[in-house]
Structure 1
């Protein structure tokens, strides 16, 4: 059985669902503001970042410094990694090739935003790689595990990190960025930043050549786009997040999932999803994909090859990061 673990930001829970039936297998209470999640297949562990004490990127009551470690089999928290004095952990990814856990953290007093490299065996920080940006958020690791690219929200460039040398080596100029994914020879990053404020830039996807670290193409979209995910089946999935600024903050409306051929970037289909889709994951074979709709508190299940919506499962409030546990 394949299980989906969903970090639900507003309710401070990690919800475990059966991916075939949507049956809720467990609801685990965890620390406030769970944000992103990833699965360590070597150890059977789920890592969840806790980014803020409350709120979101542009409006919060202070940054947190915690990463929860959850046993995927017992569905219990077995440890908490405290990354202080760093704070504001966002995206985190376990890289099977190097057996490292990478975490993006925000800047602090006298410290620029950075990528932390953590040893999953000892849960100790091995390295801190500055990326010269306030808020590195999502990031993408190239298939050869040699380079990492950070999407830096409002900072007008993508940072390029040499993971072998442990240094930032380049900036790729873009207006501002959201989700990001790596293909064989390209990195795809969504922009501009999703803030609810009026912007003049076109919405779309920047295509970065990873050999030269330059933007070679821009694919425009009708609506703002946030999450970007590449599947093993040769599809690129991108979430549209239509929203507007209201008196009490952002008002998010139901969006669409854009499915592209990852080679040509031809748009194959647009499918209806929920509101505020901030994370996308897929199964190892790329046949199924899952879209976490933070505004709706749901997960949309996608037949990637059939280009159709299979189901919508209920999660908890603020469904955000996900881990697929096989």
Structure 2
């Protein structure tokens, strides 16, 4: 069975990718991910504000001459503030596994995006995922300004590094398809669809905001499924499917609509990194049952451009679904 695929110009032995999560902070886990079938691993995001806050705090303590406060930090920490620990993780992961190691970066300023991207490249990452986590809740930025920000970040990073760059995107653009094509034209080597933004909840007993992040469920597959199906065959770059992968069935669905790779974090957080083998075995079993000899044989088979029932992806199907639901209720 040929499970190989291409992503960001890299050859992967399997389309399953362990996406960014705390699990990949441990090189032992990264080794297990490779052993259990991952074709690549995305390291957790490095956040510019975390680095700079850490540096600012160390500088403040040093400027105040507060040697007692500094003594509470582990020995050698002052040499490791900034991105050094993350860069070391890249190096150690590269040395530990043969699969591609993809770094993830969340910046806040143009200089930060560029500087950290260069350091990530120098540390040896195979590729870089730009996690542009930006919610314009100030109600001031226009849609055009938000989109321009994404394009500018991509353009500047691409000028600064030579490694492949993927854009991890949310679905909240006014025209996601057009935005993704714009980024593709601007030089994105791939897109990850979709990022799950943090959304607060409210504790009614304490009347406080809940700062938690819920793991995805399989019902969340439908939105990325729709857009990947629409974009399949229309981009120069790669497409990574993300969100809602709990079983091999979601992996296969994503491949059928045209994804080059399928990413998962929630399933591994729930079941452990060994669950990658369950997903891989399920993929192999499904391909065998379909008498397919490779992933390539099914990829894109149910994309929007490949099916005769295009209405299934468009508005007319909305009407049919509503009518069908009404009849079922009666």
TM-score tier after normalising by the smaller chain length: 0.3 to 0.5
TM-score norm. by structure 1 comes to 0.34
Structure with the largest fraction of strand: 1
Q: Which has the higher helix share?
A: 2
Greater relative CO, 1 or 2 (CA 8 Å, sep 6+): 2
Larger Rg over CA atoms: 2
